[in-house]
Amino acid sequence: MIGKNIPNIITVIRLILVGPFLFYLLSDNYEYAFYVFTVAGLSDGLDGLLARRYGWISRFGCVADPLADKLLMMTSFLALTYLGKLPIWLTSLVITRDVVIVAGVSGLYYLFRKVDFTPTPISKLNTALQIILIFLLLFELAYDTLPSQLISTIMICMVVTTVVSFVHYVLVWGATAFKEWQHHVRVR
């Protein structure tokens, strides 16, 4: 019985790690910030692997896991923007996309009491690029300067996938909402 709670425990630990990560990053202790971010990132992979492999999926995990991920990423983007490592327009783009996605999911659920939210391949690529970008920027702060072309390339790819996934979600959810609304009107 305790085994099925392991992914949730790991998720809670990841939520808790956001505080020390932000503290270390804003205290110019970049090595520790890098390590905490790395541990948090690895914990995300581990809790997901355990949940899928052993069927230890729970309602709590379905809500808390993406919340922990978004909290860590948004904290990273905001702090790195504050430190001058990311442009404000980029962080604004990332946050706007996430706010619209959360609002869309919430709105569809509120209106129709059902949402099938499965991340798309482009969204998964976008998330991977966000993680890679944050990882590289933290590595650069902690250890050494990386080739600017590497970070610029990752950033450009991330911007493209952010915009494409944003437009895709808006179109797909807009069509879904319209179909549900039509169905709702016909049923009445």
pTM: 0.86
Residue 184 is predicted with a pLDDT of 65
> Which of residues 85 and 103 earns the better pLDDT score?
85
Percent of the chain with pLDDT over 70: 93
> Which of residues 180 and 6 earns the better pLDDT score?
6
> How many CB atoms sit inside 10 A of residue 156's CB?
11
> Which of residues 96 and 173 earns the better pLDDT score?
96
Residue 185 is predicted with a pLDDT of 66
> Which of residues 118 and 166 earns the better pLDDT score?
166
Residue 187 is predicted with a pLDDT of 65
Mean residue pLDDT across the chain: 88
Half-sphere exposure of 49 (CA within 13 A, CB side): 6
Residue 114 is predicted with a pLDDT of 66
Cα R_g (the chain), whole angstroms: 18
Residue 131 is predicted with a pLDDT of 93
Residue 113 is predicted with a pLDDT of 66
Say yes or no to pLDDT of 167 above 60.
Answer: yes
Residue 82 is predicted with a pLDDT of 97
Section 26-50 average pLDDT = 93
- In the numeric block, the tokens 């619209």 are attached to 100
3-state SS assignment for residue 145: coil
- Which long-range contacts (C-beta less than 8 Å, at least 24 apart) are formed by 130-137? 130/73, 130/77, 130/94, 130/158, 131/41, 131/73, 133/158, 134/37, 134/73, 134/76, 134/77, 134/80, 135/37, 135/38, 135/41, 137/80, 137/85, 137/86
Residue 188 is predicted with a pLDDT of 62
Half-sphere exposure of 160 (CA within 13 A, CB side): 7
